[in-house]
Amino acid sequence: MADPLIFVRGANFAATLAACGTVSFLALMVPSVSKPPAGFLPLRDRLRVLIWLALAVAILSGAAWLVLLAANITGATIAEVCLHGGAWPVLFDTRFGLVFCARLALAVVLALLMDWPAMRMLQLVVAAALIALLAWVGHAGATPGIAGDVHLVSDIAHLLAAGSWLGALPAFVLLLTNARRDPDWDDFLLRTTQRFSVVAMVSVATLLASGLINSWNLLSGLRDLITTDYGRLIALKVGLFVAMISVAAVNKFYLTPRLPKPSALRALRRNSLAEIALGLCVLFIVGALGTLAPTAHRHAVPEGIPPGAAFVHIHAPEAMADVMINPGRPGLSEATIRVMGEDLSRFPAKDVWLALEPPQSRGPTLERGAVEEADGAWRVKDIALSEPGIWTVRVTVTSKPGEAILLDAPIVIEP
């Protein structure tokens, strides 16, 4: 059975891009004229309704995404999460929850701003922030170090370019559908189409460059495109993107110069609908990619984890750690920490310090020094866990040269 998170993520991406792309269409691609052609003002009202509907879908799908994520993290059913407030710890104790709150606020602000058409630039800024925040809930937001910063900037550029091109296509199709045969409309349509073509060309170049950077960070090699599920989805996404570029090239170099001929107008509308269909397929592939571990970041879960133990793998550029808390429930527990290099070899640590912060910082942070044992693991005994929920585990590793390395991640303590 398909993971519902794939469809929820895909719907959220599609709705966000449609809302923000329509804002960019009105702000950047529709020419400013003292007297718009007859029928444009009703079209602008319909585009505003499209933005509101897309924002509503984005908010609802974002809430569904939160609930599904909470169910995955806590191991509870969706009904239990909804009935017993299981989503609250995820909302307030995780990066995803904080980003969700910020995006919800931006969506509400953008919806209110749409009643003031003159504030197009402010609308554009809010829309750009709404799209850009999606980067923090993807793989780019979890990549550490300088490489992670580059990956994050690249992913933000990727999302903004997708919104400016793919997200603006529904608005462009509505314009083509409502275009009338009169001199005012002919000039207005031609200028809008030319502006849309320029934005599309810049977006395609940005998507190509940022896509290469993202693939470099997410794939361990070209073989992954054939040998792994994650790589095959990337290859399919690239194939669909190439098809979109081919259709867009026909639109720009063959059909746009023939406007406003009715045959060119019909073909341009048909091809734009085809681009939207291909783009939706790409977005649902993106939804699926977000549920899989990138091949460049994949590490096997160690064997021998006892039932009921809490476990998390933490990755940083300098080192990584497997942290196990057994039993993973309130009461006295023992923490086992294995510190490794990128090649999974034992990391030469001088000492290891463990800190456990309770959910929503409701109590004091537990801080203890770990003791190295003969098997190379570092252990902390008699940890008193006060309550269940999503705790934050922080491991500070001091290397033999004396450099301090901080690794942190959420870990679930079951009731």
Encode pLDDT of 190-228 as tens digits.
Answer: 889 999 999 999 999 999 999 898 888 788 778 888 888
pLDDT in tens, 264-275: 888 999 999 999
pLDDT value, residue 336: 94
pLDDT in tens, 28-43: 998 876 677 877 888 8
Q: Give the closest residue to 204 by CA, choosing from 241, 167, 152.
A: 241
Q: Give the closest residue to 384 by CA, choosing from 406, 353, 358.
A: 358
Between strands 331-340 and 320-326, the pairing is antiparallel
| Count of alpha carbons within 13 angstroms of residue 216, beta-carbon side | 13
Q: Give the closest residue to 261 by CA, choosing from 332, 193, 316, 356.
A: 193
Superfamily per CATH, domain 310-413 = Macroglobulin (MG2) domain (2.60.40.1930)
CB 191 within 8 A of CB 31: yes
CA–CA separation, 286 and 280 (whole Å) = 10
pTM of the full structure: 0.75
pLDDT value, residue 103: 95
pLDDT value, residue 260: 80
Q: What is the mean pLDDT of the chain?
A: 86
Give the other-Cβ count within 10 Å of 185's Cβ.
Answer: 19
pLDDT value, residue 1: 41
* CA-to-CA dists, residue 239 to 137, 150, 168, 284, angstroms: 25, 25, 21, 14
pLDDT at 343 over 60: no
CB 162 within 8 A of CB 154: no
CB 62 within 8 A of CB 52: no
pLDDT in tens, 296-326: 665 556 677 888 899 988 877 677 889 999 9
Range of lowest pLDDT (11-15, 92-96, 226-230): 92-96
* CA-to-CA dists, residue 9 to 56, 134, 206, angstroms: 15, 10, 23
pLDDT value, residue 273: 95
Share of the chain above pLDDT 90, in %: 47
Q: Give the closest residue to 163 by CA, choosing from 112, 118, 200, 218.
A: 200
Residue 331 pLDDT class (50, 70, 90 cuts): very high
pLDDT at 263 over 80: yes
CA–CA separation, 414 and 285 (whole Å) = 33
Q: Give the closest residue to 14 by CA, choosing from 230, 172, 181, 159.
A: 159
> Side by side, which strands form the sheet with 349-357?
366-369, 349-357, 389-399, 404-413
Q: CB within 8 A of 405, min separation 6: which ones?
A: 316, 318, 319, 396, 397, 398, 399
Residue 287 pLDDT class (50, 70, 90 cuts): confident
